[in-house]
Amino acid sequence: MSVLETRGLVKDFGGFVAINDVSFTLDHAQKHAIIGPNGAGKTTFFNLITGHLEPSRGTVRFDGREITGMPPHRIVKLGLARSFQRINIFPRMTVWQNIQTALIARDGKHFNMLIAGASQNRQETSELLDLVSLDTESDEIAGELSYGKQKQLELAIALAENPSVLLLDEPTAGMSPQETRDAIALIDQIAVTRQLTLLFTEHDMNVVFGIADRISVLHHGELIASGEPEEVRTDAEVRRVYLGENEHAAA
Ligand code: ADP
Ligand code: MG
């Protein structure tokens, strides 16, 4: 069953076509990777889906309804959440306060001075901390966490919206090999616990082929392949324009 669909999606940046006629389907409970060289259009594609950019042409449907042109906060409310390629947290607040603030914002409330600060949304804040394995870092200043842990916090903030679909833009970018392994294990586990459909971009092919059950390939803004990992791995065009290139680069 498809949960997210684009039809003929185009993004033209003043004559430069970053996304070119992309028709794409994400199925329920999939762990779907979008791959493609730098500049292929992966982040732009995510921005079109989440309302951060308006498409020049084409449509986006989520859960059976058209969301093309909707503002990001409304799309999030429908259950489509994302993390960004760059860290997006409040660096001066504690870990606890970051999550609590996300929950308060989600509920459309304001921080309530009359309720003893830390107790607002206490139960849910604590559950999210556990979920992303930051329970022992609760009182630490977010900006002082290791990079990997800041990404975990970002994940908790995205999950505060209770999404059914989570988009992750390069979730392991900038991580050490150990941090990468931990992050992937965590994401995998959360996808199961929260019954999430995952759509992610990733440059590390070990990660991609390790967790994705479906892979789509963007090249110069065009979707050149979409299929099961083995199909994509052996696809002649994909090998020529992308995977082949990587092998040369690694050699
Ligand atoms: P990826 O995430 O796959 O590395 P991007 O989606 O970030 O690729 O970028 C795709 C192409 O679109 C790049 O050539 C980039 O320079 C261009 N691009 C992205 N955003 C803009 C923008 N706001 N204005 C003009 N060009 C852009
Ligand atoms: Mg990108």
Asked if residue 247 has pLDDT above 70, the reply is: no
Measured from the Cα of 45, ligand 1's closest atom is: 6
Residue located via tokens 């329970």: 135
Residue having the nearest C-alpha atom to atom 23 of ligand 1? 13
The predicted structure's pLDDT at residue 114: 58
The contacts of residue 13 (CB under 8 Å, 6+ apart) are none
Q: Find the 136 Cα to ligand 2 centroid distance in Å.
A: 32
Ligand 1 atom having least distance to the Cα of 18: 12
Most informative mutation of 12, 44, 86 for ligand 1 (most atoms within 8 A of CB): 44
Q: Are 24 and 73 within one domain?
A: yes
pLDDT above 90 for 110: no
Q: Indicate whether 96 and 220 sit together in one domain.
A: no
pLDDT tens column, 4-55: 999 999 999 999 999 999 999 999 999 999 999 999 999 999 999 999 999 9
Atom number, ligand 1, closest to the C-alpha of residue 14: 25
Which of 119, 144, 162 is the last residue in one of the domains?
Answer: 162
Query: How far is the centre of ligand 2, averaged over its atoms, from the C-alpha of 195 (Å)?
Result: 26
Same domain? 49 vs 104 = no
Q: What are phi and psi of 56, to 5 degrees?
A: -75, -35
pLDDT band at residue 224 under the 50/70/90 scheme: very high
Last residue of a domain, one of 100, 132, 162: 162
Q: Give tens-digit pLDDT for 26-35.
A: 999 999 999 9
Which residue did the predictor score with more confidence, 200 or 84? Answer: 200
Same domain, 203 and 108: no
Closest ligand 1 atom to residue 47 Cα is 6
Residue 208 lies in domain: 1-79+166-251
Q: Are residues 155 and 206 in the same domain?
A: no
Q: Are 29 and 143 contained in the same domain? A: no
CB-defined site of ligand 1, < 6 Å: 13, 16, 18, 36, 38-44
User: What's residue 77's pLDDT?
Assistant: 92
Residue 3 Cα to ligand 2 middle (Å): 23
- 172 and 240 part of one domain: yes
188 and 93, same structural domain? Answer: no
Is pLDDT above 90 for 116?
A: no
Number of domains in the chain: 2
Query: Do 171 and 149 lie in a common domain?
Result: no
Specify the residue with its C-alpha closest to ligand 1, atom 20. Answer: 44
Q: What is the pLDDT of residues 67-92, one digit of tens each?
A: 999 999 999 999 999 987 777 899 99
Same domain, 197 and 214: yes
Q: Ligand 2 center to residue 6 CA distance, Å?
A: 19
Domain boundary among 127, 162, 197: 162
What burial class does residue 141 get, using C-beta atoms within 10 Å of its C-beta: 0-12 exposed, 13-18 middle, 19+ buried? middle
Are 172 and 251 contained in the same domain? Answer: yes
Q: Distance from the CA of 202 to the center of ligand 2, in angstroms?
A: 9
d(CA 34, CA 240): 17
What Cα–Cα distance (Å) separates residue 150 from each residue in 99, 126, 154, 242? Answer: 12, 17, 6, 31
CATH number of 251's domain: 3.40.50.300
Measured from the alpha carbon of residue 84, the closest ligand is 2
pLDDT of residue 113: 57
Tell me the residues surrounding ligand 2 (ion) with CB < 5 Å: 42-43
Within this chain, do residues 148 and 195 fall inside the same structural domain, yes or no?
no
Residue 119 has pLDDT above 80, yes or no: no
Separation of 114 CA from ligand 2 center, angstroms? Answer: 42
Read off the pLDDT of residues 122-162 as tens digits, 9 standing for 90 and up: 999 999 999 999 999 999 999 999 999 999 999 999 999 99
- Its pTM stands at 0.91
Contact 37/245 with Cβ under 8 angstroms? yes
Closest atom of ligand 1 to 40 CA is: 3
How many C-beta atoms lie closer than 10 Å to residue 59's C-beta?
Answer: 15
What is the per-residue pLDDT across 169-188, written as a single tens digit (0 to 9) for each? 999 988 999 999 899 999 99
Model confidence band, residue 105 (pLDDT cutoffs 50, 70, 90): confident
- Confidence (pLDDT) at 109: 73
Residue 251: HSE in the Cβ half-sphere, 13 Å Cα cutoff: 6
